[in-house]
Amino acid sequence: MTSKHYGDQLIDAHLHLDDREHTTAVGAVATLLSQMDTAGVDHAVVLHLKWQRWSMAEVAEALVHQPRLTGFVNIDPVSGRQPSDLAEASAMGFRGLKLHPRLQRYRPDDPRCIELVQQAGALGWPTVLDCFPDGEWLLAGLDVRQYAILAREAPASRVIVAHAAGHHCLDLLMLAKRVPNLWFDLSYSWLYYEPGVIADIAYCIRSMRGERVLFGTDYPDRGLPESIQRSLERLAEHGVDADLQRKILWQNAYRLLQTHSV
């Protein structure tokens, strides 16, 4: 596998390949890299999704020789093949785990989910879990406490709550202060919500002193140049100073990823 390169300006820790515009993963990677160049993104975490048009192997092949991209594999912890899926993904070059309780319909504190995250942690892998509190998330009875229980039961794992739990961000903050391996990213929510919730998320960033917080765009929800520009504007508008920005835009992700940089 090609050695990874991490710049010192901006790492997007949460995005996907665009299967709406491309029939091949290789083509989607080429477009992503072009947008990264335009937007000033040095490195990106590409989150594979099982329901996209490409297989795990096709995504891995498209990423394996790209030093600016790190792949996280989506595995369903209730599918029954978790250990073999994890070993296969590792051999293909993936270096993190992506879980989607909302769409794949399980609780983060399900024992099977906990076991899979523990296994990923034993590999040194971080785990990113979707945590966007839309109607389906709420109807399924999901809540941020379940994510904290998962992290507490897998203490050797770095558990990243995606989308900062949206309008439940303050509850997530209180839990992260008690569970030291619980992280969160800003993807999607940072540009989705109106100023009131954004102010709450900005408070969470400041209260955490910028630690264990990652920047992400959730591309291709929006084009990367647009996402980066508007995200940086909002960081400034909501009082996230330059020191905190360095942590969330680059330094935290660098520390998270460099364990498996080759």
> Which pLDDT score is estimated for 84?
81
Per the CB < 8 A criterion, the answer to whether 190 and 162 are in contact is no
> Which pLDDT score is estimated for 206?
98
> Which pLDDT score is estimated for 5?
65
Per the CB < 8 A criterion, the answer to whether 96 and 130 are in contact is no
Strand extents, DSSP E, the chain? 11-15, 43-47, 69-74, 97-99, 126-129, 158-161, 182-185, 213-214
Residue 63 backbone zone (phi > 0: left; psi -120 to 50: alpha; other: beta): alpha
Q: What tens digit of pLDDT does each residue of 185-220 get?
A: 999 999 999 999 999 999 999 999 999 999 999 999
Report, in this order, helix, strand and coil percent for the chain, each rounded to 5. Answer: 50, 15, 40
> Which pLDDT score is estimated for 3?
63
Q: What tens digit of pLDDT does each residue of 153-192 get?
A: 999 999 999 999 999 999 999 999 999 999 999 999 999 9
Buried/exposed 43-77: b ≥16 CB within 10 Å, e otherwise = bbbbbbbbebebebebbbbbbeebebbbbbbbbbb
Residues of the chain scoring pLDDT < 50: 261-262
Distance of CA 62 to the CA centre of its chain: 19
Instruction: Write phi, then psi, for 158 (nearest 5 degrees).
Output: -100, 110
Residue 100's alpha-carbon distances to 7, 74, 162, 169, 212, in angstroms, are 29, 8, 10, 18, 20
> Which pLDDT score is estimated for 261?
43
> Which pLDDT score is estimated for 56?
93
